[in-house]
Amino acid sequence: MATILLLTAIFVVAAAYIFHEIVVKGKSCTSKVQLHGKTLIVTGSNTGIGKTTAIDLAKRGARVILACRSKQRGEAALEDIKKVTGSNQVVFMQLNLGSLASIRSFVEAFLKSEPRLDILINNAGIYMQGQTDDGLGMMFGVNHIGHFLLTNLLLERLKECGPSRIINVSSVAHHFGKIDFDCLNTTKSLGQGTTFMEVLQVYSNSKLCNVLFTHELAKRLQGTNVTCYSLHPGAINSELARNTSSFAQWFLLPVTTFFFKNTIQGSQTSLHCALQEGIEHLSGRYFSNCTVKEVSDKAKDDATAKKLWELSERLCGLV
């Protein structure tokens, strides 16, 4: 009896491992590019795929700015990353994407202390209802507006340092997203409901904004040496679901363990977009599994992208 149980257990673990290696893992970034003398910013890099992305970049010799909201979590990650990479070119700088004032002071400090910016990775993301310091819906405010302002304030420096790139970590969830301008205008996407479906809808909307922005930004960057990409990193076992109900987390645990990528696997498409040589002609496009993919029609609607850009400019006081 014990033998049968043991054999079954071994079989299940082995099957799960093989399944994970073949089906879940996905493609890896194959670029061998070295980054000595290059400066990169990764937002939300104290944990999850932001941290594994930063580690890979630091190993390639880049100067990596960890732009994180918590001083404590950011500095702990800084120590870890220095230890595993042996790099002394990793720096923590505080950035709360839920505060327009914090974004402005981050950019001011960055532009003063760092002469270059070669790649900006807009990775931070949140899955939680709530409000930013400026009274915007938390997911819309952090996932979209925060990165919108950050990107715009850093654009001149990126142009000066071309060829340079901007990467937006979006999500396959953007397929479920909708942009309702009347609602954005009046409620600033302060998510009203708290049910599972309502929260998922607000998150998906914010991720659709990321893809629409990449579409509009690529147009605005024509004739410069800056290219931009958005991507779905895969379903990843990270801290993203930390503020969902404990029932949901308990329910998801077996699913995430077997079917979700780990954070190293989850960082591969971000790294591909940041590093792969010869993808410049794909500026503005969306990637998944290290491969360019089609997006839904609503994610490349020129008029919506333009209107959202203008609304975003107004909401963060750029006009």
Ligand X SMILES: *[C@@H]1O[C@H](CO)[C@@H](O)[C@H](O)[C@H]1NC(C)=O
Q: Rounded distance, CA 212 to CA 221, Å?
A: 14
Cβ 234 to ligand X shortest distance, Å: 7
Residue 26 or 61: the one with the smaller Cβ distance to ligand X is 26
Residues 287, 292, 297: CA angle, nearest 5 degrees:
80
154 burial class (0-12, 13-18, 19+ CB within 10 angstroms)? buried
Q: Does 177 interact with ligand NAP (rule: CB under 6 A)?
A: no
Stretch that binds ligand NAP, among 38-46, 106-114, 293-301, 303-311 (CB under 6 A): 38-46
Among positions 234-253, residues that touch ligand NAP (CB under 6 A) are 235-236, 238-240
Q: Does 96 interact with ligand NAP (rule: CB under 6 A)?
A: yes
Tokens of 293: 């993919």
- Show Cβ contacts of residue 197 under 8 Å, excluding neighbours closer than 6 positions: none
Residues 289, 142, 265: CA angle, nearest 5 degrees:
25
Q: Packing angle between helix 268-275 and helix 48-59, nearest 10 degrees?
A: 40
Q: Does 124 interact with ligand NAP (rule: CB under 6 A)?
A: yes
Among positions 64-93, residues that touch ligand X (CB under 6 A) are none
Catalytic site residue 229? no
Q: Which does 224 bind (CB under 5 to 8 A by kind): ligand X, ligand NAP, none?
A: ligand X
Q: Do 219 and 284 touch, CB atoms closer than 8 A? A: yes
**Which of 178, 219, 242, 293 touches ligand X by CB under 6 A?**
242
Q: Rounded distance, CA 190 to CA 287, Å?
A: 29
Stretch that binds ligand NAP, among 26-34, 40-48, 176-184, 221-229 (CB under 6 A): 40-48
Residue 66 or 153: the one with the smaller Cβ distance to ligand X is 153
Q: Packing angle between helix 196-220 and helix 147-160, nearest 10 degrees?
A: 20
Q: Does 54 interact with ligand NAP (rule: CB under 6 A)?
A: no
**Which of 187, 243, 256, 296 touches ligand X by CB under 6 A?**
243
Cβ 219 to ligand NAP shortest distance, Å: 23
Q: Does 290 interact with ligand NAP (rule: CB under 6 A)?
A: no
- Residue tagged active-site, from 17, 127, 203, 229: 203
Q: Rounded distance, CA 141 to CA 129, Å?
A: 11
Q: Do 236 and 48 touch, CB atoms closer than 8 A? A: yes
Q: Do 177 and 202 touch, CB atoms closer than 8 A? A: no
Number of residues that bind ligand X (CB under 6 A): 27
Q: Rounded distance, CA 37 to CA 31, Å?
A: 17
Q: Which does 96 bind (CB under 5 to 8 A by kind): ligand NAP, ligand X, none?
A: ligand NAP
How far, in whole angstroms, is CA 171 from its chain's centroid? 9
Stretch that binds ligand X, among 69-77, 211-219, 270-278, 297-305 (CB under 6 A): 211-219
Tokens 């760092």 locate to 114
Q: Which residues bind ligand X (CB under 6 A)?
A: 26-27, 122, 144, 147-148, 151, 162, 166, 168, 181-182, 185, 209-210, 213-214, 217, 224-225, 228, 230, 242-243, 289, 307, 311
Catalytic residue set: 203
